[in-house]
Amino acid sequence: MKNNALFLCNIRSALNVGAIARSAAAFNVKTIFVGPETPYPTITNDARLPHIQKSTTRKIAKTALGALDHVTFVPVADIVDSLHALSDDYTVLGLEQDPRSIPLTSYRHNTSKPWLLVLGREVTGLNDQELSACQHIIEIPHSKNKESLNVSVAAGIALFNLQ
């Protein structure tokens, strides 16, 4: 079984992080890498102050609904360097509306490497450096009634389609 993973690029909302963790657990994604500004629950050898760990974990757990028992969060110091390093072990997929993107429904994962789905910031998405570190850029086709989807909703749709 492939050990597919997620990478959250400075998603700010703990509620979004919890909802993404819930979808990850539902689709058997066990690892979530997080950028330096993304909240994450308490982890082994956590260097954050105890009250920050507790408060952040409580907020994430509200929408994770038990998923925190099934996923591991891995904080990273530098997003772009980490994406480049992870490309040795994963096929790196950026989820973003971009002229280079292909529809999610057209993407076929035809490699033995697991995929790493990279999700961007709530308002601005993935920046050019992050997109350049991705091997493929995919987007969710949708009507133009709304410019974009909530990042946790987009994560669930993408995870379902990538399985």
Rounded Cα–Cα distance for residues 75 and 160 (Å): 24
Of all residues in the chain, the percent with pLDDT exceeding 90 is: 92
Give the structural domain span for 41.
5-162
Q: What is the pLDDT of residue 146?
A: 81
Strands 136-139 and 102-103: parallel
Under DSSP, the state recorded for 121 is B
Mean pLDDT of 111-119: 95
Identify the pLDDT of residue 81. Answer: 98
Confidence of residue 111 (pLDDT cuts 50, 70, 90): confident
Nearest alpha carbon to residue 41 among 83, 6, 74, 8: 74
> CATH number, domain at 107?
3.40.1280.10
Query: Residue 157 pLDDT > 80, yes or no?
Result: yes
Q: Which two tokens stand for residue 12?
A: 């700010």
Per-residue pLDDT at 2: 78
Mean of pLDDT values over 25-53: 97
Question: How far, in Å, are 25, 79, 81, 119 from residue 64 at the CA level?
Answer: 9, 24, 28, 17
Residue 69 pLDDT level (bands cut at 50, 70, 90): very high
pLDDT tier, 15 (very low <50, low <70, confident <90, very high otherwise): very high
Output the six-digit token pair for 47: 């260097």
Residue whose tokens read 């907020």: 59
pLDDT at 1: 54
Percent of the residues in the chain that have a pLDDT greater than 70, as a whole number: 99
Q: pLDDT tens-digit profile of 77-96?
A: 999 999 999 999 999 999 99
- Among residues 2, 69, 76, 1, which one has the least CA distance to residue 38? 76
Q: What is the pLDDT of residue 84?
A: 98
Q: Has residue 126 got a pLDDT over 90?
A: yes
CA 130 to chain CA centroid, nearest Å: 13
Q: How many domains does the chain have?
A: 1
